Amino acid sequence: MKPQRSSKPADRELAEVVAYHQGDMEAAIGTLLEDIRHLRQQLAFAEGAMSRGITRGWRPSYDRD
């Protein structure tokens, strides 16, 4: 029988982010928003470098569906 976990992985990640910022929620949110902007930029660069033939017409989505 597997031991039950008291928290979800997302809960642990959230706790780690907040702890990293010494409990400053605004700083934690700011860092996560900067990460989102960076990843969107990386996705745009990757989209520009991809050939249409490689992806068979697939295009990345910048927003959740």
pLDDT for 17-27, tens place per residue? 999 999 999 99
Confidence of residue 44 (pLDDT cuts 50, 70, 90): confident
Whether the model clears a pTM of 0.85, i.e. scores above it, the answer is no
Percent of the chain residues past pLDDT 90, beyond the cut: 46
As a whole number of angstroms, the distance between CA 65 and CA 59 comes to 13
Is 15's pLDDT higher than 90? yes
Question: What is the model's pLDDT at position 55?
Answer: 66
As a whole number of angstroms, the distance between CA 38 and CA 32 comes to 10
